[in-house]
Amino acid sequence: MLITARAEYACLAMLELAARHNDPRPIRLTEVTDKHAIPQRFLVQILLQMKAAGLVSTSRGASGGYRLARAPETITLADILGVLDRMEKPEDRNLAPSTMARGLQSVWKQLGETRMHFLQKIRLTDLVPSSNSGDYVI
Amino acid sequence: MLITARAEYACLAMLELAARHNDPRPIRLTEVTDKHAIPQRFLVQILLQMKAAGLVSTSRGASGGYRLARAPETITLADILGVLDRMEKPEDRNLAPSTMARGLQSVWKQLGETRMHFLQKIRLTDLVPSSNSGDYVI
DNA sequence: TACAATGATGACTGAATCGGTCGGGAAAAT
DNA sequence: ATTTTCCCGACCGATTCAGTCATCATTGTA
């Protein structure tokens, strides 16, 4: 699969935050991990990355938790996966330059762009079931 | 990087075979590895996969080598990368089913389809210099 | 103030994957 | 028979993936 567990967990968590964004109270880690069967310790790391990227804000202490830092309709899957991509390699392979190699490089580049354009079109609100359905209970 | 070294080497080797496909003589491994700076032992493995997938045919012994098993205009990058993808895991993640999770799964599926569709449009002849009969433009 | 509830952080780990390498074998031309 | 080429399975070091652990810091509440 092209999508890592980390990426999927990140998207699910962000979707969960988006679904409850009209409620101003922050959402506890366990509320997300319990609902989506995500390892708690792992999701902490991931949400910390989201926070560092400015997508999520947090408050500590009792009744603390996580909130989206921006409106859910302004956050796309490209934003989320982009955070994780930035961990990725410096990306230079050491091959002989040739017309073929350059042609291929161009294809890989276009492929990446196509992917990004696709992901940029998908906002959190596009994947959140309409928030007036009341399928979450405090 | 989305593209592994293995995938890139496979494409380069196939392009090299395509470039010399009008010459009926098979192409030696070293001719490919020398030109593109690919580790020999590694490319053997890769070409063996291509052969098993029916994309390449071989002949052994002195003056043996590799040839494309089909005309280069009938082989796309999707064909080549598809061979390597088939090594990949059945990949089922163990997450709680929810509307969000299902929505995401649908997105990943569409993403894979978009990628495949893109790669299916690129034939070997599109990337081989001086045989640009195709309509793919870099 | 004490304490419980919550997030923050860095180190660690087992398993898998990636990018090869090694040693030897098998077929075919000369 | 020898050389030239491909065939094949096993192996290996480094890196990444998917978490886990221990411990600390901050905040609300009794």
Q: Which residue's structure tokens are 């890769």?
A: B46
pLDDT digits (tens), chain A, 138 positions: 589 999 999 999 999 999 999 999 999 999 999 999 999 999 999 999 999 999 999 999 999 999 999 999 999 999 999 999 876 665 667 777 889 999 999 999 999 999 999 999 999 999 998 744 444 332
Q: Which pLDDT value is given to residue A90?
A: 57
List protein-proximal bases of chain D (any atom < 7 A from a CB): 3-10, 16-22, 25-29
Q: How many CB pairs under 8 A join A and B?
A: 107
Instruction: Classify strands B56-59 and A65-68 as parallel, antiparallel or unpaired.
Output: unpaired
CA A28 to C1' C7, whole Å: 9
Cβ–Cβ below 8 Å for B38 and A91:
no
Sign of the Cα torsion B51, B54, B59, B64 reads negative
In this predicted structure, the answer to whether residue B50 has a pLDDT above a threshold of 90 is yes
- Distance (Å, rounded) from C-alpha A20 to C-alpha A16? 7
Domain segments of chain B: what residues? 5-127
Write out chain B residues lying below 8 Å of A1, CB-based: 88-89, 91, 108
| Mean of all residue pLDDT scores within chain B | 91
In this predicted structure, the answer to whether residue B73 has a pLDDT above a threshold of 80 is yes
Determine the CATH number of domain A5-133: 1.10.10.10
Q: Which pLDDT value is given to residue A136?
A: 35
CA-wise closest residue to A120 among A85, A63, A87, A79: A79
Q: Which of B27, B81, B104 to mutate to test the interface with A (most CBs of A within 10 A)?
A: B104
Determine the CATH number of domain B5-127: 1.10.10.10
- Distance (Å, rounded) from C-alpha B83 to C-alpha B14? 13
Q: Which pLDDT value is given to residue B136?
A: 47
Sign of the Cα torsion A74, A76, A82, A83 reads positive
Cβ–Cβ below 8 Å for A104 and B11:
yes
